[in-house]
Amino acid sequence: MAKLHCIAALVAVAVSTFAAPAHAGRSCEEKKATPASIERGLLLAQRTHEALEAAHARDGVQVVLLARAGQDLSKYGLHYSHLGLAWRTRGPQGQPAWRVLHKLNACGTAVASIYRQGLGEFFLDDLWRYEAAWIVPRLDVQQKLLALLADDARALRLHHRPYSVVSYSWGRKYQQSNQWAIETIALAMDPVVTSRERAQAWLQLQGYEPGVLRLGPLTRLGGRLSAANVAFDDHPDAKRFADRIETVTVDSVFAWMERSGLGGRPVRLP
């Protein structure tokens, strides 16, 4: 009951202050937050915190790749839309806290920035489904990611502001949110990685395979004309004109982490 009272108080604060200037893995439609949606987001954050704390107590988990379902991508065969790097730290009073480092696109623009947020903020971004999922990386991967997450300059090294939600997985003209996350994993894992080009080479060497979206010409044209954060001109012509849009999806990252042995099976929290 105390938890519910605490969440209710947070809802009251959030209703009066909530604003969403930047998004990833969701639509940019103007949609005002409601007390019900905020409460559901905060409850999901609380349940995720408890599950991650249990994983820490049981297995010493300190870093996960955390996903949310910000928009309906089921017509493309995708379940989750947005990925961040979440790690265990301490709050102002020394209490355990989980933070998320992730990339967000400023709605109505073609640029993005990197944000550090708590779980509450991460799950308050107008979700399509109130679900969370994560991959627990292998222990040595966690250790290398922790070192990177403690170094602000290094964590931002591969960030590229020009943004397209469907940026080509092996291109460097744009960089979408999930693409930044796995390129940053490459940066953490190998000291030879000092650029996006080398990060992508490392990912290919490790067997990463991008997600493939089947988008017809009318869909591509409509997306480019109606949204600043959608561009297809970085995709190779042969693939683009064959309606084969290769981009970094959460589903493809989860499958790769498990397949490569870099992480375990996805944990889902409905």
Using alpha carbons, select from 240, 243, 235 the residue that is nearest to residue 216: 243
| CA dist 119 → 43, 44, 55, 105 (Å) | 10, 9, 16, 18
Two tokens at 32?
């005002």
Q: What are phi and psi of 30, to 5 degrees?
A: -70, 120
Q: Where are the domains of the chain?
A: 2-269
Full pLDDT tens readout for the chain, 270 residues: 444 334 433 333 333 223 334 555 444 555 667 888 889 999 999 999 999 999 999 999 999 999 999 887 887 788 899 999 999 999 888 999 999 999 999 877 899 999 999 999 999 867 888 999 999 999 999 999 999 999 999 999 999 999 999 999 999 999 999 999 999 999 999 999 999 999 999 999 999 999 998 875 535 444 454 477 888 899 999 888 888 899 999 999 999 999 999 999 999 998
Alpha carbons 58 and 165: distance in angstroms, whole number? 37
pLDDT in tens, 151-207: 999 999 999 999 999 999 999 999 999 999 999 999 999 999 999 999 999 999 999
Looking only at the bridges linking them, the beta strands covering 82-90 and 211-214 are: unpaired
- Distance of alpha carbon 32 from alpha carbon 18, whole angstroms: 9
Classify 178 in phi/psi space as left (phi over 0), alpha (psi -120 to 50) or beta.
alpha
- In this prediction, residue 7 carries a pLDDT of 40
- Token code pair at residue 145: 């990611």
Pairwise CA distance, residues 164 & 109, whole Å = 10
Nearest residue to 89 (alpha-carbon basis) of 155, 10, 149: 149
SS3 114: strand
Could you tell me which of 242, 244, 264, 241 has the C-alpha nearest to residue 254? 264
pLDDT (0 to 100) of residue 67: 97
Q: What is the pLDDT of residue 25?
A: 45
Q: What is the pLDDT of residue 217?
A: 53
CA distance 263 to 57: 18
At residue 110's C-alpha, the angle toward residues 108 and 115, to 5°, is 90
Provide the pLDDT for residue 223: 46
In this prediction, residue 6 carries a pLDDT of: 43
* Interatomic CA distance for residues 264 and 137, integer angstroms: 6
The pTM (predicted TM-score) of the whole model is: 0.86
